[in-house]
Structure 1
């Protein structure tokens, strides 16, 4: 897929995410703008799966702006909890959203469990227009395990409790550059860049 995109609306109001995506797409001559800067409100995310929520966000932004739209949905899935927190990762402990309370609830939920394996999951969806019948869908994962005591000052979400056995560190102990090379979102975005550059076939 050789892209013909010059401007994409990002279906997120997360400044960090916009900067990360903008940096990756800039060499391809693609300008990214936030939906908020165009007066678009956040979409509802009522679905049980990441892909449905990402698609809802991308379609909402594309229909409202008339631009191609990029959305992602991601979270952490814990084996012993049948995939929870999953799509509820950001609001696992309820509203208002709080990383600290979410992490505390997760650690408490795993108390007494022998299996602490978990993985971050990310799905990225690109719609060329609001009625696009064949969205580009890219997914990736990042495997680790949950530890009770937080380590590291970086990252966000569950990163201080997400331990990577091969590295002997948590995600919060990695530099941003290290994290972006191996994280679920970093790997998915890298594949998106390859697809837009025409170096990789579009997933079907």
Structure 2
């Protein structure tokens, strides 16, 4: 049976990663843009799961009740009491660039020693099926924040984030895309979601 799943995002890289991770027989993925739908709800929850659910419900309504998948993710830095957290994309302001966000993070951590620069990327996925049933999955990758941007492959905070799984030697932006997907917070969340969907099948 064919199923169209609407991804509540217009990020082509994210859409491709999701489609590859959830390659169930008969499933097709499309973005809001693919359907000519505009959906930009206010993400005013104080958790990643809350914001992902806001996006999923808005996309479901806008697409006429189709199956939808939304994610929310961000960087949680221990020395900053969990900031930037749900404001990761807007850390340096509402229309902040990646460069501005990274510059602010480095500035905030300027006097923080390596041992206290622990951080993690977190991702929550909310999948609402055609019948309205919901599955939620979480993914995390632990690491620390470096002192300068390194690498050409990533985006966002990737050039500053040194994952523990790389021995703290390389940033996420220094990893090839397939390497990153194998260890990333979104990759981990997608693997967890796939397992939950398979359990319920």
Q: TM-score, normalised by structure 2?
A: 0.90
Aligned to 1:101: 100
* Number of residue equivalences: 195
CA distance in 1, matches of 2:47, 2:165: 29
Aligned to 1:136: 135
CA distance in 2, matches of 1:13, 1:79: 30
CA distance in 1, matches of 2:2, 2:129: 8
Q: Give yes or no for the alignment of 1:191 onto 2:192.
A: yes
SS in 2 for 1:16: helix
CA drift of 1:161 comes to 0.5
Q: Which runs of 5+ in 2 are unaligned?
A: none
Question: Could you list the runs of 4 or more consecutive aligned residues of structure 1 that deviate by over 3 angstroms after TM superposition?
Answer: none
CA distance in 2, matches of 1:72, 1:62: 14
Kept in 1: contact 2:48–2:124 (CA 8 A):
yes
CA distance in 1, matches of 2:85, 2:2: 32
Structure with more relative contact order (C-alpha pairs < 8 Å, separation 6 or more)? 1
Structure-to-structure mapping, 1:111-130, within 5 angstroms = 111-114=110-113, 115-129=116-130
Q: Give CA deviations for 1:45-100 in whole Å, capped at 9, x if unaligned.
A: 11111111000000001112120110000000000101000000011111323000
Aligned to 2:171: 170
Aligned to 2:14: 17
CA distance in 2, matches of 1:50, 1:92: 15
CA distance in 2, matches of 1:111, 1:125: 36
